[in-house]
């Protein structure tokens, strides 16, 4: 990919500056055969053919020869925990740990060079396939950490291990629901300990982690992230610092959500004052399947446990009504079928109180929405809810031998993450990673959705692509973005990719086609095993935020 700049070019960043990209493949519904695109300032100005690009080249300030590269809208990751993602990238990452002993060894190696009182945050352990099937004890962790305060979140971030030194920072923690003397902390005890660990981060640690996460996102063609913050998952300081950083430095756009119940206009104003676009994200109706805290109608396999309900239908109704009256988007984290019933019942009550059209107009959203039923899917459609979902959850834990089946049994596990049923019902999807729960990786997410482990839940590559580009923008109330058409924001990514195909969700029709007469813009082949695209450049609002180093 090469660039040519005309003599006497205008100053970089000046609104009238025009960049012409040509001799590539431009993914645009405006022209499925487009090979060129012009950007003026922070907007797409034109999309079209090579012959038309000839006429524009002389007046462009910069001409980029794509050399056959693919240009797409930048991806939006609709559910991210930025600081935690950055800490996993730069610090103690426990993903892939093979046993309790492996975790202890990693903790010891990481903490050994640190000062005695330094707080350590780690993420990613998962006992599902460990030979002992249980995590280290607190005594073992204390010894490995040398007495330091240590917080280690499970891969789903809904339970955690903590050393005695960290527990000592939380008065009365042993009396909180979810406290276990030796096992993982859940519920209120977990939230309190996580808050203590978060509070121990220095501003320098926090900003370094946030920069690392945003830089990784930009390197993967992600132009926007939805930060899901809240009092039980991070802090006000963390959210406001992230939003300030994103405003001041080049990188992906950041849309913040604050997951705290709102019941009054004053509380709604405070959410806006934090800079958040909605009172949702990780406003927990329940927990997670991996930690057995997602709220179920029937018990987890081999137990009498049905998980944890954090909100009732009345709580949901009050929140939705208050947000709707304030013109503020509401949202909830809900995974289990009982939690999703409570959420949809709450929306129904709010709609009855305020009118269905007022509730639908705000495009309220539900995060994860995994164990849906036909009734709750219909309720999503009726109330205009956006399903903010994570395809990599199925890739990581789905299938007949996966964690989901071990928690629920194969039959119930097969109902999880029904993307195709949601689309058939008219429910808009927004794809995300929930990083660091699963890694940032939009093409991997598209592959996971197109090749869902449960065949009937698969969607076309085109539908998955829309959910990971335009769907994220729609989820924040913007219909003009996430697509490369004239007038749209100039948020795009340039990719080294193989041949483009039009891919279908299953074998009942041709799985792919390279026939241009279809009039449908092609996408890279997502078949498992096929190489995924490599990001060469990411541009946000006309400004380059990532350029792949020459190798």
Q: Using the 8-state DSSP alphabet, how is residue 509 labeled?
A: S
Which band of pLDDT confidence, cut at 50, 70 and 90, is reported for residue 153?
confident
- The confidence score (pLDDT) of residue 362 equals 97
The answer to the question of residue 517 being in a domain is no
Average pLDDT over residues 278-294: 95
Q: Are residues 176 and 207 in the same domain?
A: no
- The confidence score (pLDDT) of residue 499 equals 86
Average pLDDT over residues 192-207: 87
Residue 522 has pLDDT above 90, yes or no: no
Beta-bridged to residue 80, according to DSSP, are 227, 435
**pTM of the predicted protein model:** 0.90
- The confidence score (pLDDT) of residue 486 equals 97
- The confidence score (pLDDT) of residue 196 equals 87
Q: Are residues 65 and 99 in the same domain?
A: no
- The confidence score (pLDDT) of residue 5 equals 57
Cα separation, 141 vs 424, in Å, equals 48
Residue 447 has pLDDT above 50, yes or no: yes
Residue 511 has pLDDT above 60, yes or no: no
Q: Are residues 350 and 278 in the same domain?
A: yes
Which band of pLDDT confidence, cut at 50, 70 and 90, is reported for residue 285?
very high
What is the per-residue pLDDT across 84-131, written as a single tens digit (0 to 9) for each?
999 989 888 898 899 999 999 999 999 888 887 788 888 888 888 899
Q: Are residues 186 and 316 in the same domain?
A: no
Find the radius of gyration of the CA atoms of the chain: 24
CATH number at residue 443: 3.20.20.140
Give backbone dihedrals phi and psi of 414, rounded to 5 degrees, phi first.
Answer: -70, -10
Residue by residue, what is the 3-state secondary structure of 253-321?
EEEEEECCCCCCHHHHHHHHHCCCCEECCCCECCCCCCCCCCCCCCCCCCCCCCCCCCCCHHHHHHHHH
CATH number at residue 105: 3.10.310.70
Average pLDDT over residues 416-429: 98
Average pLDDT over residues 518-526: 79
Q: Are residues 336 and 449 in the same domain?
A: yes
Q: Are residues 117 and 48 in the same domain?
A: no
369 Rama sector, left if φ>0, alpha if ψ -120 to 50, beta otherwise: left
Q: Which of 147, 173, 200 is the last residue of a domain?
A: 200
What is the per-residue pLDDT across 317-337, written as a single tens digit (0 to 9) for each?
999 999 999 999 999 999 999
Residue 515 has pLDDT above 50, yes or no: no
Residue 464 has pLDDT above 90, yes or no: yes
Q: Are residues 320 and 458 in the same domain?
A: yes
- The confidence score (pLDDT) of residue 510 equals 32
- The confidence score (pLDDT) of residue 508 equals 39
Burial 15-36 (b: 16+ CB within 10 A, else e): eebbbbbbbbbbbbebbbebbb
Cα separation, 270 vs 265, in Å, equals 9
Q: Are residues 215 and 355 in the same domain?
A: yes
State the residue for tokens 């930048």. Answer: 74
Judged by DSSP in three states, 414 sits in coil
Cα separation, 222 vs 219, in Å, equals 7
CATH number at residue 42: 2.30.40.10
Question: What are the strands of the beta sheet with 365-368, ordered from one edge?
Answer: 75-80, 222-229, 253-258, 278-279, 329-334, 365-368, 386-389, 429-431
Q: Which of 152, 172, 200 is the last residue of a domain?
A: 200
Q: Are residues 488 and 370 in the same domain?
A: no
- The confidence score (pLDDT) of residue 512 equals 41
Average pLDDT over residues 284-311: 96
The answer to the question of residue 31 being in a domain is yes
Cα separation, 410 vs 3, in Å, equals 54
- The pair of structure tokens assigned to 521 is 């813009």
Which band of pLDDT confidence, cut at 50, 70 and 90, is reported for residue 229?
very high
The answer to the question of residue 508 being in a domain is no
- The pair of structure tokens assigned to 156 is 């789903």
**Domain carrying residue 261:** 203-476
Q: Are residues 218 and 189 in the same domain?
A: no
The answer to the question of residue 419 being in a domain is yes
CB atoms within 10 A of CB 154: 24
- The confidence score (pLDDT) of residue 440 equals 98
87 Rama sector, left if φ>0, alpha if ψ -120 to 50, beta otherwise: alpha
Total domains in the chain come to 3
Average pLDDT over residues 239-252: 97
The answer to the question of residue 332 being in a domain is yes
Average pLDDT over residues 151-173: 88
Q: Are residues 140 and 214 in the same domain?
A: no
Q: Are residues 275 and 388 in the same domain?
A: yes
What is the per-residue pLDDT across 343-373, written as a single tens digit (0 to 9) for each?
999 999 999 999 999 999 999 999 999 999 9
Specify the range with the lowest mean pLDDT, choosing from 149-158, 377-386, 446-455: 149-158
- The pair of structure tokens assigned to 133 is 């099937």
């Amino acid at each position: 990919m090469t660039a040519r700049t005309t003599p006497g070019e205008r100053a970089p960043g000046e609104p009238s500056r025009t960049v012409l990209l040509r001799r590539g493949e431009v993914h645009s519904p405006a022209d499925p055969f487009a090979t060129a695109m012009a950007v003026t300032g922070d907007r797409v100005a034109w999309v079209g053919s090579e012959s038309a690009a000839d006429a524009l080249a002389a007046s462009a300030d910069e001409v980029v020869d794509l050399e056959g590269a693919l240009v797409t809208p930048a991806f939006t990751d609709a559910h991210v925990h930025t600081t935690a993602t950055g800490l996993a990238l730069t610090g103690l990452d426990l993903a892939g740990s093979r046993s309790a002993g492996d975790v202890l060894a990693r903790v010891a190696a990481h903490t050994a060079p640190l000062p005695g009182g330094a707080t350590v945050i780690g993420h990613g352990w998962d006992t599902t396939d460990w030979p002992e099937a249980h995590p280290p004890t607190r005594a073992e962790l204390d010894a490995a950490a040398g007495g330091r305060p240590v917080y280690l979140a499970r891969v789903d971030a809904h339970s955690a291990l903590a050393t005695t030194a960290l527990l000592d920072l939380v008065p009365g923690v042993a009396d909180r629901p979810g406290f276990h003397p030796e096992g993982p902390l859940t519920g209120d005890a977990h939230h309190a300990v996580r808050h203590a660990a978060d509070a121990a981060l220095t501003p320098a640690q926090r900003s370094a982690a946030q920069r690392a996460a945003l830089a990784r996102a930009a390197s993967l063609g992600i132009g926007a992230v939805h930060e899901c913050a809240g009092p039980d998952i991070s802090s006000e300081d963390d959210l406001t610092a992230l939003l300030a950083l994103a405003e001041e430095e080049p990188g992906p756009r950041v849309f913040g959500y604050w997951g705290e119940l709102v019941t009054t206009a004053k509380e709604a104003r405070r959410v806006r004052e934090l800079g958040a676009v909605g009172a949702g994200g990780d406003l927990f109706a329940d927990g997670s399947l991996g930690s057995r805290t997602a709220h179920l109608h029937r018990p987890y396999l081999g137990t009498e446990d049905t998980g944890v309900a954090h909100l009732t239908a009345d709580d949901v109704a009050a929140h939705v009504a208050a947000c709707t009256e304030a013109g503020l988007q509401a949202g909830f984290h809900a995974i289990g079928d009982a939690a999703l019933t409570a959420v949809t019942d709450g929306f129904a009550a709010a709609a009855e109180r305020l009118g269905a059209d007022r509730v639908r107009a705000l495009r309220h959203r539900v995060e994860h929405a995994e164990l849906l039923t036909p009734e709750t899917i219909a309720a999503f459609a009726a109330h205009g809810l956006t399903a903010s979902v994570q395809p990599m959850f199925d890739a990581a834990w789905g299938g007949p031998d996966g964690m989901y089946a071990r928690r629920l049994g194969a039959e119930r596990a097969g109902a999880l993450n029904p993307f195709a049923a949601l689309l058939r019902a008219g429910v808009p999807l927004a794809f995300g990673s929930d990083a660091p729960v699963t890694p940032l990786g939009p093409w991997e997410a598209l592959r996971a959705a197109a090749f869902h482990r449960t065949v009937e839940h698969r969607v076309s590559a085109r539908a998955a692509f829309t959910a990971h580009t335009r769907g994220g923008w729609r989820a924040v109330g913007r219909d003009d973005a996430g697509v490369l058409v004239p007038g749209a924001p100039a948020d795009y990514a340039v990719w080294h990719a193989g041949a483009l195909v039009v891919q279908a969700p299953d074998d009942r029709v041709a799985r792919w086609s390279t026939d241009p007469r279809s009039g449908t813009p092609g996408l890279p082949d997502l078949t498992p095993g096929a190489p995924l695209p490599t990001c060469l450049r990411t541009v946000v609002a006309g400004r380059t935020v990532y350029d792949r180093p020459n190798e």
